[in-house]
């Protein structure tokens, strides 16, 4: 098994010389019942490039008026920063907000329960694939809460400003899914006070970086990178070390306290991608949405991967850059192989979670209680 970006990191070592170089006040908090339906069918936040402004869009068929409030907390205690108001099919652009923190927006309908949303990306230049796992709507109309679980690529490259911003997110645990070789060569930078735990998914793999690196590099050099990634995703299901790591991760997420949790590997797309797929499946997020979340790594990593490919092309290295592309990115076939392996071996994803990972009904109930907002409304 091989995390694609880890291969790029190894190449980077060889190519180091080339790589250097105003609204009325809304209803008071708590005015809506916590177990009522959230009427939003869609809600997104995007940062306006080059500024601290944000653009919000939503669709709320069950409402006629929606008010928006900003906060630097995922659990605001008041509504002292009003942003604006619009209708059921709404769109608002904020004025520039301070860029040294992450902003959450409470969208408050005149009917039903409010929803708290944020831009999915945390916006860190040195960890471009660091993003919120929440903000998705489930099959029954609930929403995955934001600000509680994050996924990321490598944290060893965090610069001081990005680490400072990360430190504002109340992260209590950083779960490192990488191999020992990766951890030792590129040790994490974590927020002060956060617990760093090792959950080595690939410890039992003969093709991991702790195993036969030459074999993996040979596969890439011969154009078999895609086949290698498919095999790797199957191992996320079959390896005992992977099952143990993913079970531990889910148990930690389900714990009632300890702040937010961040899990990561090197690229934040393969081992991390399957972790996200498991969690979102448990939370009843549709498979199509899970696939969109998985494929999004290609966009978040585009600039980073482009720099690696450009440097490789200029270096005259024997590896064809086109052969490296399947390893640097993700394809639907990769994670589909993991889903297929789980469903073939265990009969269903539910059975894989229960029998393969050992996650019982009590833990699943805790995950849903902690991470889902609203009541079923569909």
Q: What are the boundaries of each domain within the chain?
A: 4-21+125-373
> Is 313 buried (19+), middle (13-18) or exposed (0-12) by CB count in 10 A?
middle
What is the Cα–Cα distance from 258 to 245, expressed in whole angstroms? 19
DSSP letters, 193-253, are TPEEEE--TTTT-TTSTTS-HHHHHHHHHTT-HHHHHHHHHHHHHH-HHHHHHHHHHHHHH
pLDDT score at 207: 52
pLDDT score at 209: 37
pLDDT score at 218: 79
The helix (H) or strand (E) run that includes residue 84 is strand 82-86
CB atoms within 10 A of CB 24: 7
Q: Do you know the residue count of the chain?
A: 378
| Low-confidence spans in the chain with pLDDT less than 50 | 1-2, 5-35, 208-211
The helix (H) or strand (E) run that includes residue 18 is helix 16-19
What is the Cα–Cα distance from 165 to 152, expressed in whole angstroms? 14
Residue with tokens 């927020």: 191
pLDDT score at 13: 35
pLDDT score at 257: 84
What is the Cα–Cα distance from 329 to 346, expressed in whole angstroms? 28
Q: Which two tokens stand for residue 44?
A: 């997104």
> Which CATH number is 4-21+125-373's, of 3.90.190.10, 1.20.1090.10, 1.20.970.10, 3.90.1150.10?
3.90.190.10
pLDDT score at 182: 93
CA angle 290, 153, 131 (to 5 degrees): 50
335 closest CA partner among 265, 377, 276: 276
Is the pTM of the predicted complex or chain greater than 0.85? yes
Residues 6+ apart with CB under 8 A from 76: 29, 69, 104, 106, 116
pLDDT score at 204: 80
pLDDT score at 152: 98
What is the Cα–Cα distance from 90 to 75, expressed in whole angstroms? 23
pLDDT score at 214: 65
Residue with tokens 């937010």: 260
CA-CA distances (angstroms) from residue 338 to 70, 110, 176, 248, 259?
Answer: 39, 43, 20, 19, 30
């Amino acid at each position: 098994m091989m995390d694609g970006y880890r291969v790029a990191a190894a190449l980077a070592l060889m190519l180091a010389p080339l790589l250097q170089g105003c609204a009325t006040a809304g209803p008071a908090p708590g005015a809506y019942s916590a177990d009522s339906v959230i009427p939003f069918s869609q809600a997104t936040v995007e940062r306006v490039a080059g500024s601290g402004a944000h653009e919000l869009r939503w669709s709320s068929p069950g409402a006629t008026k929606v008010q928006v409030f900003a906060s630097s907390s995922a659990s605001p205690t008041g509504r002292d920063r009003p942003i604006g108001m619009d209708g059921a099919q709404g769109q608002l652009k904020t004025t520039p907000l301070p860029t040294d923190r992450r902003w959450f927006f409470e969208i408050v309908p005149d009917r039903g329960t409010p929803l708290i949303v944020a831009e999915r990306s945390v916006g860190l230049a040195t960890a471009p694939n660091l993003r919120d796992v929440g903000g998705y709507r489930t099959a029954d109309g609930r929403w995955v809460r934001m600000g509680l679980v994050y996924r990321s690529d490598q944290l060893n490259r965090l610069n001081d400003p990005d680490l400072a911003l990360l430190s504002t997110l109340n992260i209590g645990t950083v779960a490192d899914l990488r191999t020992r070789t990766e951890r030792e060569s590129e040790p994490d930078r974590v927020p002060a006070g956060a617990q760093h735990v090792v959950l080595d998914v690939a410890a039992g793999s003969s093709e991991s970086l702790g195993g036969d690196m030459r074999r993996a590099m040979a596969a890439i050099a011969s154009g078999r990178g895609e086949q290698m990634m498919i095999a790797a995703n199957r191992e996320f299901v079959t390896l005992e070390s992977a099952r143990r790591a993913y079970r531990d991760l889910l148990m930690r997420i389900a714990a009632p306290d300890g702040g937010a949790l961040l899990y990561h590997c090197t690229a934040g797309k393969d081992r991390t991608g399957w972790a996200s797929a498991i969690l979102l499946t448990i939370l009843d997020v549709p498979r199509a949405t899970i696939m969109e979340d998985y494929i999004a790594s290609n966009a978040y990593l585009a600039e980073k991967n482009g720099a690696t490919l450009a440097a490789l092309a200029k270096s005259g290295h024997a590896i064809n850059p086109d052969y490296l592309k399947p390893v640097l990115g993700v394809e639907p076939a990769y994670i589909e192989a993991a889903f297929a392996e789980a469903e073939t071996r265990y009969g269903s994803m539910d059975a894989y979670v229960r029998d393969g990972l050992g996650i019982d009904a009590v833990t699943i109930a805790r995950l849903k209680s902690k991470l889902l907002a609203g009541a079923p409304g569909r």
